[in-house]
């Protein structure tokens, strides 16, 4: 009877130990799943950011003109520039 009782206690201890280890493994697995999910979200966001950056880099300038300084000016800036150029032309014409 003592032998069966000792054997039963040993089996119960082994069962409790296995249950604790299983519980520990489950927690560890949940941590791994959380880390993988976080990494995937981070990677997905990095891909989106890179795609946006690529799209912005591919877009041509939104201004009018041929790329000269005048082509990138607002209408008001163009008018002022034309006025300055006319004045310079008038001054140069007198100097010659």
Q: What residues contact 71, with CB distance under 8 A and at least 6 apart?
A: 63, 64, 65
Alpha carbon distance 58, 94 (integer Å): 47
Whole-structure pTM over 0.75, yes or no? no
For 16-30, write each residue's pLDDT tens digit.
999 999 999 999 999
Query: What's the pLDDT at 19?
Result: 98
Distance CA 8, CA 56 (A): 72
d(CA 55, CA 61): 12
Phi, psi angle pair for 67, to nearest 5°: 95, -5
Question: Tens digits of per-residue pLDDT, 40-88?
Answer: 999 999 999 998 888 877 665 555 555 555 568 888 988 999 999 998 8
35 pLDDT more than 80: yes
């Amino acid at each position: 009877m003592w032998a069966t009782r000792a054997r039963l206690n040993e089996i119960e201890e082994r069962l409790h130990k296995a249950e604790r280890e299983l519980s520990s493994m489950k927690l560890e697995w949940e941590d791994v799943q959380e880390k993988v999910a976080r990494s995937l979200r981070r990677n997905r966001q990095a891909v989106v950011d890179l795609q946006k950056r690529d799209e912005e880099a591919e877009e041509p300038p939104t201004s009018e003109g041929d790329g000269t300084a005048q082509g990138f000016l607002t209408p008001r800036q163009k008018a002022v520039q034309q006025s300055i150029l006319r004045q310079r032309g008038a001054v140069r014409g007198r100097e010659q």
